[in-house]
Amino acid sequence: MNMSHSAQGANSQGPKVPVKITCYGCNNNKPAHSFSKTQIAKYMSNIHNEYAPKGRTTKKHHIMCKQCTPQQNSSLTCMICTRTKPLDSFAKAQRKNAEKARCLECMKKREEDDIDDSEPDTDSDGSFNETWDDIL
């Protein structure tokens, strides 16, 4: 009987997750259930896929088990008032760089100070008629 056209394995979705994976953090071989789904997905992307476009598998991911994976920060320290506050006290843009984060309260104070310190946009007589032609 010719087995060259067998359907065996036709529904397999590529390489299987191994029973043990080496953790980059503690360098121990651990069972797959010790890793998050995200870490396992990264591990699987490290495995060569002959059908993937060139360059897809060039980045080597460092896989860490749940114990070695750092937890998400739940608070930040404001660089202005040096108080540690929960994340919702900071704008989302400020959360991206923890070393330079400024809390909403300090940002509001700074904005109010800047408004008070700014010079008026008018001349002494109350009019402002200067154009770019006057400057150039």
Q: Does 127 reside within a domain? A: no
Q: How many whole angstroms separate alpha carbon 80 and alpha carbon 106?
A: 7
What domain count does the chain have?
2
Q: How many whole angstroms separate alpha carbon 95 and alpha carbon 88?
A: 9
Q: What is the DSSP letter of 117?
A: H
**Overall pTM > 0.75:** no
Residues 1-29: tens digit of each pLDDT: 455 555 555 555 666 778 898 999 899 99
H helix runs in 26-70, sequence order: 37-46
Q: Does 125 reside within a domain? A: no
Range of the domain at 49: 14-70
Its sign, for the CA torsion 72, 22, 37, 34, is negative
